[in-house]
Structure 1
Amino acid sequence: MTHILLDTVIKTDYGQFDLLWDDGYQGFDGKFDKVFDGQVNGLAGAASGNGLYLNLARRSDGYPVRIVLLAEPPTLDAGVWEDVVEVSICVPRGVSPRWRTWAGERGGPLDLPPGSYRVRVSARGRDAGRQQELADGPVDSYLLEVWPAQAEPDSIVRTTTTNAAYWHRKVGSRR
């Protein structure tokens, strides 16, 4: 079973994209320690417990983002995705999960039921996205695969871009 939660080009600034489930939480506020505390990866910050921050490569414009809910852990699609990380999240009962871009410019509902999940964030084009930071149209793209799982520490599954390696080092140096 695959349930598509989102499949669109996200327009945002400062490479910020959040998934939120705490109604009082407004997403990433520039404080890396809050969202990456205790983590090793620098692409998906899940430490706050109130949401999931995605650190996209480009400063602004559009990013193709696809989020799918799966019944089982996915297989690793070798060669298609350059950078892959995994984090755990817990969506509590009684909340309304949603997605949101920088400063709340755009957003929408996310049909994610309560529960404990593992999220695999796969990216391609991060180096090109960084080099073409202000290009018109999409350069880097993202796939988030979500499936029921018990919490476990975040992990870096694959890193092939300089951009992802930079963010992993930045987060790792804060530990």
Structure 2
Amino acid sequence: MVRVLMDEVVETDYGQLDLWFSDDAEDDGDIEATFSGQVNGVAGAAVPGWIYLNLGRRSGGSAVRIEAHDGVIPCGAEWEDVVEVSTVVGEQGDCGWTSWAGESGGRFVLPPGPHRVRVCARGRDAGDADELADGTVDFYLVQLWPAPVEADAILRVGSRNAAYWHETWGSSR
């Protein structure tokens, strides 16, 4: 069963979209700490209860959909770039998302405990090439399901943009 937690075009800046999984989770702005020990450079999950999503488009609107699932599901072939990370949802189950500088955001609820988070993307290169393009050019699907914590993983790299960020912020820094 799928539960849609958010589905909208997010206006952001600096290509940053943050997901938080506890009311007391905080990002101190240390980007290197966010990706510490990870191989991927797209979804920084090294700060407990916080995931920094690095979008392809620096500014403007990016389509983002967040889904909760009961368990792992197959990854669609339409997605060029796919990574997975883990997080732990706090006792209250309070979670949410916010764009850079809190320009927009929302809340959702998940069952407490460890979750796997898959971030799928397409159009990262188009978003990187023309951040001022009319309309939406990059698309993101975030899928969450209860699962034990495990190391992050790069499942698919199809864009130059994701490859760049994996090399820049990932590679087990």
1:56-135, aligned counterparts within 5 Å?
A: 56-78=55-77, 80-94=78-92, 96-135=94-133
1:19-38, aligned counterparts within 5 Å?
A: 19-27=19-27, 29=29, 31-38=30-37
Distance 1:129 1:8 in 2: 16
State the AA in 1 paired with 2:168.
K
Distance 1:174 1:145 in 2: 23
Choose from 158, 161, 172 the match for 1:160: 158
- Cα shift readout 1:74-93 (whole Å, capped 9, x = no counterpart): 11212x00000000110110
TM-score after normalising by structure 1: 0.92
State the AA in 2 paired with 1:125.
G
- Provide the identity percentage: 52
Instruction: Please name the residue that 1:11 is paired with.
Output: 11
SS in 1 for 2:167: helix
Single out whichever of 20-29 and 150-159 deviates more from structure 2.
20-29
TM-score after normalising by structure 2: 0.93
Q: How many pairs are equivalent?
A: 173
Aligned-pair CA distance for 1:25 = 4.3
CA distance 1:151–1:174, change in 2 (3 Å): closer
User: Can you give the 5+ residue segments of structure 2 that lack an aligned partner in the other structure?
Assistant: none
Aligned-pair CA distance for 1:143 = 0.3
Distance 1:103 1:14 in 2: 10
Distance 1:89 1:35 in 2: 12
State the AA in 2 paired with 1:23.
D
Distance 1:69 1:28 in 2: 27
Distance 2:9 2:133 in 1: 14
Distance 1:141 1:114 in 2: 28
SS in 2 for 1:9: strand
Aligned-pair CA distance for 1:9 = 0.8
Single out whichever of 94-103 and 7-16 deviates more from structure 2.
94-103
SS in 1 for 2:128: helix
CA distance 1:28–1:119, change in 2 (3 Å): farther
Q: CA RMSD in A?
A: 1.5
Distance 2:108 2:102 in 1: 15
